[in-house]
A and B are shown apart, each in its own frame.
Chain A
């Protein structure tokens, strides 16, 4: 493919790039912009953080086709007219840099945060760099450095685009370059779709061989680990904006399935009505993953640990599935059929999530896991209560996130004992045993979470 990019204000045209070549390799190998680092290649460390179209992005989880026609800022672009950005100056002076390998990623995350009006509040700063790991420092100089530079940074609007992109593009020809690497040696075919119809046709054509490259935060790590069997992927960058709107009417809230967790966190409608979803969105991965990962991808990936699902279950969400000529709606609670098995048909994709507005007496989302950022949650419990209607949903305890229908029946009965609760709980979930935690612990934890929730609810 021909890849057109504006990087740090400079236009580039690169011919003959493989669609599934990683943006990280384009930057480091084709353009020799080696400031962006590779620490893991799986979205976990943040060393490859860049800004793409004013959004934070991991270059290791971005393919060339997704980056096409975008504007990119890398560490090399922070310096303006031979002057360091204040944050670079402060990082250098204060000891935020030890071995320095994480530094470009942190600087980019910080720059993006400050540029987009991030506050001086330490917790917000920590959240903004929660997708970046440092193994050398104790993080304090990094956090302090961002805080210190808060008032010193100045940003021009559209600093990259207008004036510079008029300059002639640097042209690079890789057409005869046989040494190009792509994301994986099992060559995957990625197509860019421009309309909903194209997407549906694509999905219909390739059926179980097809996947949707939305945020790519599940797909690319899985391809890299050799776990992805599908061969055809549709890049939805071009239609993303159509399917990421969040709107409301008198009755319902409609969330476009391609909305990212960052969109969700900041959306006023969701903030007003769906507090637990905001909470879930903030706990997914680190900040970079939240900015890339979509809610549709989270639902469709079907992981037992998918964090948004318990939060959606307690609002009794409905999902809209779109195919070429029709649409259908289905309750999220009946969408999952087994481990990574879902009620989704050939040619369909998740287009929307619909949630009815309600006034709740109480809602909550609690999780227990042993590290704050970048963890896939261990045990989570969400609840909502409206008059007599109680919904309980748990994550990471069974093959898929689940409503606790049996427990719901007896949960608020006066004479309930912990043993009876356990009995009902055992009907709802068969605990998972995996590396993150033993099944027994999960069950015990869930039982304890339920018990203290019950005490709290009864008090009210």
Chain B
């Protein structure tokens, strides 16, 4: 299986690394032409208000101002900006601009002008009359609140998702297997708890930005830092009532996304300006705008119950979720469902399981896609509560996990019941090395000698804790990826893909996959991604789909190309394809041989009537979504005087099938762990009581730096998934899932306090210690 691999499973450097270390122009912002209109938006200072009147007469007089639009000046076509496949599982509840503003930072007007100064000046001169409405700022009271956040009658969902605007419900979902109440009642050991996970901001280091122009064909060109060019094109087409053939979207290098660039952001504002003025326009978000006016992670509250028998075999899990989607329902349903579908199957031997969730609107910054996508949130609740269960049973958490976790060849009814937004797909887990991951990660951390705690000074205690996790690999039966391979003279290939490398290294690993399939070196592949005019369809870089879904498409395209090459050579030498071998860049038959280089040049110049272009393509839709798995173990040291704690060591062992590029896979996981650690202990989107975001810069919103974690160890299990490209599963998201629970459990083991509300701050630890003393 893996032994014969030449191009994949090797750590070649990133193909785009050279340009980046040189600081060459690469990102959207580096490519913006000069003398282009500057677009900014006027933001609502209120969490919820009706815009009665927008007077921009004075503002228009500012020298250099080109255009100003309020909601009355833009098309009122209802859309969702979610950036998902079509029909979207998110409610249509959003306009380019609307007469209601639903969170502080929601856009009220678009201003375009020649200089930033003019635009800033104009923004100040716009007079807006608001009717301030009562804002809904508490997740717990949102459902059925007297203030209805989406009173517009046009809002709807493409298919039933539980959307009920009158009750402030964006989506809802319920499913069960067996009778949970009954099984729990009969079980010998029961635990339950309430957990809260906060909103987290994606914080890609490159702020959202785009520019637009109309080309000489009269087509709208949108150059944007996005994860989903085809969805952007489709949604813009709808919002602007333009045929899709009139729109071209392409993404240059993207400086990080993490889900935050799956949705539409500035594209529509910029396009409005370009379409109405005929002039090129750019929009660059400030860091504050990225925080307040793009999106973040859905905050969630879990009520969770778990029951087992005396031996520690889990019998039932009952998960109840309330999720905060903020002002708009983007990704409301799917993030909710992933909370169940990517955690509950871990414990597939239960007799009964129930999942019930409601996603409510509030007047917060909207939530959207974010690495981990619900699984992270539920993982914190479930893995925390299982730690409690182990304690109650008097067994170690390692033993509890070993008794209950899913293993290779098994299935779970959840796979069939829960998909993303719709029904799922039945599957057996064909690769699962959780056993190994568990053994190895506790070995790495030195669990034997450290569990549960060690006092190292009168007020300093160390503890270890663990969590296991799973994710998916694309959305089965929905996500589609494709690839085109084109042979050029001199024997190199273009690989054209709609998949977007947002910093993950996917361009590199997909070049490796293509090279492996064709039987050449990855250095002979030139990757281009992605441009809706030139590259084939791809749903985009999300849902951990690129490696698996696009990877399979690339592999198929590569095999097709190999076949095509051999057939063409066979025809040339008048032999059967079976008589041609292709190795080390040379085609050989019994009598003759020719290099790929020479062959391809001849094919285009010297073969007379046989001259032709070789192009191969293929696409792939996942029949299933094989989960990657991992185990994360944390060691912390807590200061009992101050509650301050340090993460001394974090060991993670991951089963993502074949690592197509071990080095890139490793940094994906390390980066995921850092973000997970951020979620666990530092990051928190905080609002004032009137709904203004307090954490709107990098000083108050704390992402971790390297000084915060002493040691990170990431290893991979030897694994191979038969359905993946060369055995690979996804690895982009899973790294983020375990830190919250593993760290919470480690702190509990160290000092005996269980923090159930993220982030786990020294304050909370200290306060809990005080409470415990009493």
Q: Residues of A with Cβ closer than 8 Å to B?
A: 28-29, 32-42, 44-45, 47, 74-76, 78-79, 84, 88-89, 91-95, 97-104, 107, 126-127, 129-130, 133-143, 178-182, 184-185, 187, 286, 368, 370-376, 435-438, 441, 444-445, 448-449, 451-452
Contacts and interface: CB of A to CB of B under 8 A. Distances in A.
Given A35-B23, A41-B286, A441-B767, A99 B256 contact: yes
11 contacts: A40-B698, A92-B20, A95-B11, A99-B206, A104-B23, A130-B705, A135-B204, A135-B256, A368-B762, A376-B699, A445-B766
A370 B702 contact: yes
Given A40-B697, A137-B674, 6 more contacts: A34-B29, A130-B706, A133-B205, A137-B671, A185-B117, A371-B708
B207 A76 contact: no
A225 to B, nearest CB: 8
Interface in B430-463: 459
B763 A437 contact: yes
B705 A97 contact: no
Contact of A133 (B13, B116, B703): B703
Interface residues of B, number: 81
Contacts of A438: 763
Given A34-B25, A35-B24, A98 B707 contact: no
A135 B22 contact: no
Contacts of A178: 64, 114-115
Given A44-B699, A138-B673, A185 B120 contact: yes
B476 to A, nearest CB: 27
A182 B120 CA distance: 12
B334 interface: no
Contacts of B694: 435
Contacts of B207: 38-40
Contacts of A448: 641-642, 766
Contacts of B29: 28, 34, 38
A36 to B, nearest CB: 7
A138 B712 contact: yes
B698 A42 contact: yes
B14 A143 contact: no
A369 B398 CA distance: 33
A343 B703 CA distance: 37
A45 B255 contact: no
A372 B646 CA distance: 10
B502 to A, nearest CB: 7
Contacts of B667: 95, 98, 136-138, 141
**Shortest beta-carbon contacts, A-B, top 3:** A35-B23, A99-B503, A138-B670
Give the dominant DSSP class at B's interface: loop
A246 to B, nearest CB: 27
A140 to B, nearest CB: 6
A33 B256 CA distance: 21
A39 B205 contact: yes
A441 B23 contact: no
Contacts of B255: 37, 99-101
Interface in B17-57: 17-18, 20-27, 29-30, 34-35
A95 B666 contact: yes
Contacts of B189: none
Of A38, A126, A127, most buried by chain B (CB within 10 Å of CB) is: A38
A95 B666 CA distance: 9
Contact of B763 (A130, A435, A441): A441
A370 B682 contact: yes
A373 B709 CA distance: 12
Given A76-B23, A135-B205, A138-B674, A449 B642 contact: yes
B258 interface: yes
A97 B502 CA distance: 12
A370 B761 contact: yes
B444 to A, nearest CB: 15
Contact of B706 (A79, A126, A182): A126
Nearest to A36: B23
A80 B698 CA distance: 34
Nearest to B64: A178
B505 interface: yes
A375 B699 contact: yes
B254 interface: yes
Nearest to B674: A138
Contacts of A141: 667, 670
Given A75-B23, A97-B17, A185 B205 contact: no
B504 interface: yes
B253 A181 contact: no
Given A35-B24, A44-B697, A136-B671, A99 B205 contact: yes
A451 B642 CA distance: 11
Nearest to A108: B23
B664 interface: yes
